[in-house]
């Protein structure tokens, strides 16, 4: 398996929050707060996860999804079930250790699953993984808030979709909300149906959940 699925490169300044330029551009990025500083090269590497990534990836999941985050055990199951679709966005800077700043996890479901919206909440996604299915279900995708808006999430999503195509799956599905839906629409996903009874106790994290779909063939 080719490890380096994609690289977004750019320039960031030492002072202020880190920013990453989308899709391999070459112009310099300014820090969010102006300050005299020297620009340094950074890149975000999109690659498959390894077992030794799991603890850091789970911590990242908790920072992004809060009380809706998958447990370490669930993350282990996702990696074991469909390792190609467990993707890491890794920030690489000269002189610094690589840092996970984005993840996407996917599993294979049958077209008929789930039969009830409650299955999304009561059944861990990995428990429904079926290698004979034809749907890539994106169980989670998230980017560190500091690096949002620079194409990292879109790149993770696109690479996950390509995994589904390589496996000759028919569809990709995911649950969006009113905040994330524009990102998924840019990737070509279309709303399939709203799920107004889903995640009622998590409305602050999942406002207006919608099932979205992208044909792969």
At residue 190's C-alpha, the angle toward residues 187 and 195, to 5°, is: 120
pLDDT of residue 204: 86
| Per-position b or e across 62-76, b if 16+ CB within 10 A of its CB | eebbeeebbeeebbe
Q: What is the pLDDT along the chain (217 residues), one digit of tens a residue?
A: 444 555 554 433 332 344 443 343 333 333 444 444 454 466 999 999 999 999 999 999 999 999 999 999 999 999 999 999 999 999 998 889 999 999 999 999 999 999 888 899 899 999 999 999 999 999 999 999 988 888 999 999 999 999 999 999 999 999 999 999 999 999 999 999 999 999 888 888 899 999 999 999 9
Residues 91 and 42 sit within 8 Å (Cβ to Cβ): yes
Q: How far apart are CA 130 and CA 110, in angstroms?
A: 7
pTM of the full predicted structure?
0.82
Chain-centroid distance of CA 195 in Å reads 21
Among 34, 32, 36, CA closest to 18: 32
pLDDT of residue 149: 85
Q: Sheet containing 190-194: which strands, arranged edge to edge?
A: 6-13, 39-48, 87-92, 99-109, 135-143, 171-176, 210-215, 190-194
Q: Which residues does 91 contact at the CB level (< 8 Å), separation at least 6?
A: 18, 20, 42, 43, 44, 98, 99, 100, 101, 147
Q: How far apart are CA 37 and CA 66, in angstroms?
A: 34
Q: What share of the chain is helix, strand, coil (3-state, %, to 5)?
A: 30, 30, 40
Domains along the sequence of the chain with CATH: 50-86+103-215 (3.40.630.30)
Residues 186 and 157 sit within 8 Å (Cβ to Cβ): no
DSSP 148-207: TTSSHHHHHHHHHHHHHHHTT-SEEEEEE-TTTHHHHHHTT-EEEEE-TTTTGGGTTTSS
Q: How far apart are CA 57 and CA 55, in angstroms?
A: 5
Residues 76 and 86 sit within 8 Å (Cβ to Cβ): no
């Amino acid at each position: 398996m080719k490890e380096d699925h994609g690289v977004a490169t750019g320039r960031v300044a030492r002072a202020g929050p880190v920013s990453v330029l989308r899709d391999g551009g070459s112009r310099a990025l300014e820090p969010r707060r102006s300050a005299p500083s020297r620009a340094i090269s950074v890149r975000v590497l999109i690659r498959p996860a390894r077992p030794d990534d799991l603890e850091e990836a789970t911590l990242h999941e908790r920072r992004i999804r809060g009380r809706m985050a998958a447990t370490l055990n669930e993350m282990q199951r996702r990696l074991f079930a469909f390792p190609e679709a467990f993707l890491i966005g890794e920030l690489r800077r000269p002189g610094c250790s690589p840092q996970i700043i984005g993840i996407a996890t996917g599993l294979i479901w049958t077209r008929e699953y789930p039969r009830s919206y409650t299955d999304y909440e009561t059944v861990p996604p990995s428990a429904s993984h079926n290698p004979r299915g034809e749907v890539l279900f994106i169980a989670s995708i998230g980017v560190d808030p500091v690096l949002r808006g620079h194409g990292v999430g879109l790149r993770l999503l696109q690479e996950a979709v390509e995994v589904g195509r390589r496996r000759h799956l028919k569809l990709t599905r995911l649950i969006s909300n009113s905040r994330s839906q524009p990102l998924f629409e840019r990737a070509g996903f279309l709303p399939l149906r709203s799920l107004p009874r889903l995640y009622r106790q998590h409305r602050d994290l999942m406002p207006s959940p919608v099932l979205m779909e992208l044909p792969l063939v």
